[in-house]
Amino acid sequence: MAREPRYDILFEPLRIGPVTARNRFYQVPHCIGMGHAYPRSAAALRGVKAEGGWAVVCTEECEIHPTGDIAPNIEQRLWDDGDIPMHAAMTDAVHAHGALAGIELAHSGHHAPNLYSRLIPLAPSHLPYDGYEPVQARAMDKEDIRNLRRWHREAALRAKKAGFDIVYVYAGHDLTLPMHFISRRTNDRSDEYGGSLENRVRLFRELIEETKEAIGDRCAIAVRFAVDELLGADGITAENEGREVVEMLAELPDLWDVNISDWANDSTTSRFAPEGSQEKYVAFVKKLTTKPVVGVGRFTSPDTMVAQIKRGVLDFIGAARPSIADPFLPKKIEEGRPEDIRECIGCNICVTGDLTMTPIRCTQNPTMGEEHRRGWHPEAIAPKGSEDGVLIVGAGPAGLEAARALGARGYGVALAEASAELGGRVAQECRLPGLAEWARVADYRVSQIEKMTNVEVYRASRLSVADVLEFAPDRVVLALGARWRRDGIGRRHHEPIPGSEGENIYTPDDALDGAAPAGPVLVYDDDHYYMGGVLAEKLKAQGAEVVLATPAPDASHWTHNTMEQSRIQARLLEMGVEIVPLHKLAAIGLGEVELECVYTGKRTKRPAASVFLVTARLPEDALYHELMAAPEALRDAGIASVDRIGDCLAPGTIAAAVYSGHLYARELDAGSNLEVPFKVERHALQ
Ligand code: ADP
Ligand code: SF4
């Protein structure tokens, strides 16, 4: 199929200094939790993006020197020539598919605790490390600044040697030295690098000029700059200093990659910001420079992309998350099938890989991060290895993904779902406040399955053991999901919470089924991901008095890893939800509960007419156990295997359920490896 002419503009080649991008799709630098630790994995991941049609594919940030060592975070390194080969593997993989390779050189200043290198961090002023490590950076003297400039120049030369086409000077977010110099908050110098904005920009300017001078003959020099920190007068804003910096340096770099700071503002979840939300901050940049401008906005709609270009906001459509959820997004538009795009849902599970110092994963794209170690490709999958017919019971994320992937392999699949609606938990949870985009997990899969003649879908079909035996498929896969516990057992409680057998007890499943009990309501969150917080928000919006109690230090504690926690807590507080952290739910009575301080054990009573327990879930696996208890009946029916996937096997994230369904489909005839089920990257002893 040919692409629609209205999208032609997205496929125009565009010059960036000495190089030319084949189209306007630009994968901006983004973390993948692989970096120097898993270079083959990183190269394969970036190569797949190039294959998917992105014109530019960049690395994550790349440390230029061990004084800017951000271990235990795993980013790239170009400390010396020894690091060049791992980068060459990435540029080769990207070039093999006709894309340009970009690298984001960085020195993280007082954001680098140097826990590995044990060197003293560097900063414009004497500053503590910006996390909680008991580390302090020293103020750089003139020699330090000269050294930094030399390290940057040398790293740029190595980047050129490694084959990069675009080399960044990075002042995006508030994470690197050029930004620390620019910012009044972190620069109290009185020399020519401090004081006036012109002085504070001096280092950034020097780095751009010197990088250009060193490698500008063959490489384009890009800058990444955060034009607004969303800190009002305390920070850089698009109205004042952000704008002035762009004015001062307008024609100096070959490309402006502009965003907002910090990372949590730049990669906001869909719960808190829609597609294209950065436009109001970055739109001015193109008016001040003739150089191409790239920006991000979790763009997944080609019409929105075209509008960004036609309205003169951006020249390149920048993407991190949309390229993670669908590395083939450009190709699908080019081939006239934009409806096949696997749209990012804005959940930030991808970010959790980096923040937990592990390789990236994605809710929508189960192959993300598995390109090298499992050899998975986002679009290609082996044809079926047998004529087996597969019955999948349950059409949540796990069942839908198994059906889609098995269908793509050519298997005959029957998918039975008890409800009239497909999607399981996402069909329900997408009705919670702010989670509407999560419906895309089901939408993408349902739309793909509908095109397949070898996948039959049976809605409103709750299957019993007798139904399964009567259906008599070769293989049965149970994707029946899980239900929230009603007894309070979870991370902190290993026995039922006293009083949890009462009638005033509710679970998130009750809320999703429409229960709206009288207040005051206590939401007890011992789960720590989104559900407790989003439930409190929903109940408060329905008019109840709501207290959120949790043994954790703050609401929805694990969402620090999705960079949402402070927004969640702020929203709850603004709505009038009282948050009681660091307390266990000791007992539930009639009309009241007893909370217990996790440190002192001191108990306090609070009124609560209804209690929502958000603690843990139990698999819905009765059907599995009943089937397994009837081996003869299975044999008579010719059923060769019965497996569980997703929450039915072990309750987890939606990402884990999708992955589980995908893994089942990949391994149906290949057999699973119960030893080490993937390639392990090991470093040769030097
Ligand atoms: P997962 O996240 O593992 O995909 P979900 O809870 O989202 O799990 O989905 C499980 C789905 O299974 C739900 O849509 C539920 O209605 C369906 N289901 C549960 N039991 C049966 C059954 N016996 N027959 C058909 N569908 C079922
Ligand atoms: Fe988008 Fe979520 Fe995938 Fe990240 S993990 S790319 S936010 S769908």
Domains of the chain: 5-355 (3.20.20.70), 389-481+620-667 (3.40.50.720), 484-618 (3.50.50.60)
75-110: pLDDT as tens digits: 999 999 999 999 999 999 999 999 999 999 999 999
Mean per-residue pLDDT, 161-188 = 95
Has residue 111 got a pLDDT over 70? yes
- Whether ligand 2 lies within 6 angstroms of the CB of 363 is answered as yes
Separation CA 44–CA 90 (nearest Å): 7
Residue nearest to atom 3 of ligand 2 (CA): 362
Separation CA 392–CA 398 (nearest Å): 10
368 alpha carbon – ligand 2 mean position (Å): 10
Residue of 130, 228, 257, 266 with catalytic role: 266
593 membership: H or E segment, kind and range: strand 592-597
**What is the arrangement of strands in the sheet containing 127-128, beginning at the earlier edge strand?**
122-123, 136-139, 127-128
Mean per-residue pLDDT, 39-64 = 98
335-351: pLDDT as tens digits: 999 999 999 999 999 99
271 alpha carbon – ligand 1 mean position (Å): 25
Q: Catalytic residue at 170?
A: yes
Mean per-residue pLDDT, 385-408 = 98
7-27: pLDDT as tens digits: 999 999 999 999 999 999 999
Which ligand is closest to the CA of 646, given by its number?
1
**Cut 0.85: pTM above it:** yes
461 alpha carbon – ligand 1 mean position (Å): 11
pLDDT at 591: 95
426 alpha carbon – ligand 1 mean position (Å): 11
Separation CA 208–CA 225 (nearest Å): 12
How many Cα atoms sit within 13 Å of 333 on the Cβ side?
Answer: 25
Any bridge partners for residue 667, and if so which?
none
Residue of 170, 506, 624, 664 with catalytic role: 170
| Three state DSSP letters for 347-379 | CCHHHHHHHCCCCCCCCCCCCCCCCCCCCCCCC
Would you call 584 helix, strand, or coil by DSSP? strand
Q: Catalytic residue at 31?
A: yes
How many Cα atoms sit within 13 Å of 211 on the Cβ side?
Answer: 33
Which ligand is closest to the CA of 32, given by its number?
2
Q: How confident is the model at residue 686 (pLDDT cuts 50, 70, 90)?
A: low
Has residue 671 got a pLDDT over 80? no
Range 35-40 contact pairs with CB under 8 angstroms and sequence separation of 24 or more: 35/60, 35/74, 35/75, 35/76, 35/77, 36/74, 36/75, 36/76, 36/77, 36/83, 36/86, 37/74, 37/681, 38/74, 38/359, 38/372, 38/681, 39/86, 39/89, 39/90, 39/681, 40/89, 40/372, 40/681
CA distances from 421 to 213, 317, 429, 464 (A): 60, 35, 13, 19
- Across all residues in the chain, what is the average pLDDT? 97
Residue nearest to atom 16 of ligand 1 (CA): 418
- Whether ligand 1 lies within 6 angstroms of the CB of 511 is answered as no
Q: Which of 2-6, 327-331, 394-398 has the lowest mean pLDDT?
A: 2-6
Which ligand is closest to the CA of 658, given by its number?
1
pLDDT at 1: 76
Residue nearest to atom 1 of ligand 2 (CA): 344
DSSP string for 324-351 = HH-TTHHHHHHTT-GGG--------HHH
Which ligand is closest to the CA of 437, given by its number?
2
Other Cβ atoms less than 10 A from the Cβ of 588: the count is 23
One-letter amino acid identity for 39? P
Residue nearest to atom 8 of ligand 2 (CA): 344
323 alpha carbon – ligand 1 mean position (Å): 29
56 alpha carbon – ligand 2 mean position (Å): 20
Separation CA 18–CA 165 (nearest Å): 9
- Whether ligand 2 lies within 6 angstroms of the CB of 588 is answered as no
One-letter amino acid identity for 519? G
Residue 345 CA, closest ligand 2 atom number? 8
Instruction: Sort strands 475-478 and 583-588 into parallel, antiparallel or unpaired.
Output: unpaired
648 alpha carbon – ligand 1 mean position (Å): 8
Separation CA 277–CA 282 (nearest Å): 10
Which ligand is closest to the CA of 323, given by its number?
2
Given a contact cutoff of 8 angstroms between Cβ atoms, the answer to whether 301 and 264 are in contact is: no
Which ligand is closest to the CA of 327, given by its number?
2
- Whether ligand 1 lies within 6 angstroms of the CB of 657 is answered as yes
378 alpha carbon – ligand 2 mean position (Å): 14
Residue of 30, 65, 152, 173 with catalytic role: 173
| Dihedral sign of CA atoms 543, 549, 555, 556 in order | negative
- Whether ligand 1 lies within 6 angstroms of the CB of 481 is answered as yes
- Whether ligand 1 lies within 6 angstroms of the CB of 416 is answered as yes
Write out the two tokens for 640. 């060769």
One-letter amino acid identity for 114? N
617-633: pLDDT as tens digits: 999 999 999 999 999 99
393 alpha carbon – ligand 1 mean position (Å): 7
Given a contact cutoff of 8 angstroms between Cβ atoms, the answer to whether 139 and 123 are in contact is: yes
- Whether ligand 1 lies within 6 angstroms of the CB of 398 is answered as yes
- Whether ligand 2 lies within 6 angstroms of the CB of 341 is answered as no
Residue 651 CA, closest ligand 1 atom number? 3
Q: Catalytic residue at 173?
A: yes
Q: Catalytic residue at 180?
A: no
Cα 423–Cα 427–Cα 430 angle in degrees, nearest 5? 140
630-665: pLDDT as tens digits: 999 999 999 999 999 999 999 999 999 999 999 999
421-477: pLDDT as tens digits: 999 999 999 999 999 999 999 999 999 999 999 999 999 999 999 999 999 999 999
Which one of 349, 368, 529 would you pick to mutate in the ligand 2 pocket, going by the greatest count of ligand atoms within 8 A of its CB?
Answer: 349
371 alpha carbon – ligand 2 mean position (Å): 17
Total residues found in the chain within this entry: 686
Write out the two tokens for 564. 């949402």
Residue nearest to atom 13 of ligand 1 (CA): 424
Residue 648 CA, closest ligand 1 atom number? 3
- Whether ligand 2 lies within 6 angstroms of the CB of 634 is answered as no
- Whether ligand 1 lies within 6 angstroms of the CB of 476 is answered as no
- List b or e across 89-101, with b for residues whose CB sees 16 or more CB atoms inside 10 angstroms: bbbebbbebebbb
Residue 368 CA, closest ligand 2 atom number? 3
